[in-house]
Amino acid sequence: MAETYFRQKLGTLLKDADITIDGPHPWDIRVLDDRFYKRVLTEAHLGIGEAYMDGWWECDALDEFFYRILRKGLDKKVSAMPRFLSSLAGKILNLQNPARAFVVGETHYNIGNDLYRAMLDKRMIYSCGYWKEGNSLDEAQEQKLRLVFDKLMLKPGMHLLDIGCGWGGAAKFAAEHYGVRVTGITISSEQEKLAREYCSGLPVDIRLVDYRSQKGTYDRIYSIGMFEHVGHKNYRAYFQTVRNALAPDGLFLLHTIGSNRTGTNTDKWTSRYIFPNSMLPSANHIARASEGLLVMEDWHSFGHDYSLTLKAWNDNIERHLPTLARSYDERFFRMWRYYLLSAAGSFRARNVQLWQIVYSQNGIEGPFDVPRQSRIFA
Which tens digit of pLDDT belongs to each residue from 209-221?
999 888 899 999 9
DSSP secondary structure of 201-248: TSSEEEEE--GGG--S-EEEEEEES-GGGT-GGGHHHHHHHHHHHEEE
> Has residue 331 got a pLDDT over 50?
yes
The pLDDT value given to residue 107: 72
> Has residue 148 got a pLDDT over 60?
yes
Q: Higher-confidence residue: 92 or 95?
A: 95
For 230-266, how does the pLDDT look when each residue is reduced to its tens digit (9 = 90+)?
989 899 999 999 999 999 999 999 999 999 999 876 7
Contact 376, 266 (CB under 8 A): no
For 257, list phi and psi in degrees, rounded to 5.
-70, 145
Pick the range with the lowest mean pLDDT from 24-33, 97-106, 141-150.
97-106
Quick one: pLDDT band at residue 92, thresholds 50, 70, 90? very low
Q: For the chain, what are the domain ranges?
A: 1-81, 98-360
Q: In the CATH scheme, what is the code of domain 98-360? A: 3.40.50.150
Q: Higher-confidence residue: 206 or 73?
A: 206
For 276-294, how does the pLDDT look when each residue is reduced to its tens digit (9 = 90+)?
878 899 999 999 999 999 9
The pLDDT value given to residue 2: 66
- Single-letter code of the amino acid located at 8: Q
> Has residue 88 got a pLDDT over 50?
no
The pLDDT value given to residue 278: 84
For 155-207, how does the pLDDT look when each residue is reduced to its tens digit (9 = 90+)?
999 999 999 999 999 999 999 999 999 999 999 999 999 999 999 999 999 99
> Has residue 226 got a pLDDT over 90?
yes
The pLDDT value given to residue 277: 78
Quick one: pLDDT band at residue 76, thresholds 50, 70, 90? confident
Sign, CA dihedral 319-312-346-165, equals positive
Across the chain, mean pLDDT equals 90
The pLDDT value given to residue 215: 86
The pLDDT value given to residue 81: 38
- Strand locations in the chain, DSSP E? 29-31, 57-59, 159-163, 181-186, 204-208, 218-224, 246-259, 295-301, 352-360
Mean pLDDT, residues 132-148 taken together: 94
For 150, list phi and psi in degrees, rounded to 5.
-70, -40
Bridge pairing between strands 181-186 and 159-163: parallel
Give the separation between CA 326 and CA 319, rounded to whole angstroms.
14
Mean pLDDT, residues 77-84 taken together: 48
Quick one: pLDDT band at residue 357, thresholds 50, 70, 90? very high
Q: List the one residue out of 246, 276, 242, 315 whose CA is nearest residue 100.
A: 276
Give the separation between CA 182 and CA 328, rounded to whole angstroms.
34
The pLDDT value given to residue 153: 96
pTM recorded for the entire structure:
0.91
